[in-house]
Amino acid sequence: MTPGTGPLGATPGAAHSTDPYLPAHGNGGYRVLHYDLDLDYRIATNRLAGRAVVTARAGQALSRFSLDLGAIRVQDVRVDGQPAKFTHRSGKLRIKPDRPIGYGATFKTEVRYAGSPVPISGRWGDIGWDELTDGVLVASQPNGAPSWFPCNDHPGDKASFLVTLTVAAPYTVLVTGDLVSRRRRAGTQTWVYERNEPTAPYLMGVQIGRYEVVELAAGGVPQRAAIPPRLRSVFAQDFGRHGDIMAAFEGLFGPYPFREYVVVVADDDLDDPIEAQGMAVFGRNHLDGLRTHERLVAHELAHQWFGNSLTVADWRHIWLNEGFATYAEWLWSALSGGPSADAHAEHWHARLALQPATIAIANPGVDRMFDPMVYKRGALTLHALRLRIGDSAFFAMLRAWVAENRHGTVTTEQFRGHARRFAARPVDDLLTAWLDRPALPPLPVFGL
The pLDDT, as a whole number, for residue 19 is 85
- Contact assessment for residue 124 and residue 79, using Cβ atoms and an 8 Å cutoff: no
CA angle 55, 58, 61 (to 5 degrees): 140
Residue 196 burial by Cβ neighbours in a 10 Å radius (0-12, 13-18, 19+): middle
Side chain identity, residue 155: P
Q: State pTM to two decimals.
A: 0.94
> Cα 104 to the chain's mean position, in Å?
28
The pLDDT, as a whole number, for residue 2 is 32
Distance CA 425, CA 259 (A): 38
Question: Which tens digits make up the pLDDT trace of 278-329?
Answer: 999 999 999 999 999 999 999 999 999 999 999 999 999 999 999 999 999 9
Residue % of the chain over a pLDDT of 90: 92
Distance CA 266, CA 209 (A): 8
Confidence of residue 445 (pLDDT cuts 50, 70, 90): confident
- Contact assessment for residue 411 and residue 317, using Cβ atoms and an 8 Å cutoff: yes
Report, as an integer, the average pLDDT of 328-356. 97
The pLDDT, as a whole number, for residue 5 is 33
Domain architecture of the chain: domains with CATH = 15-207 (2.60.40.1730), 212-304 (3.30.2010.30), 312-436 (1.10.390.10)
Q: How many CB atoms lie within 10 A of CB 5?
A: 12
The residues pairing with 213 across neighbouring beta strands, listed in sequence order, are: 226
Evaluate if residue 4 carries a pLDDT over 60.
no
Number of helical (H) and strand (E) elements in the chain, helices listed first: 9, 25
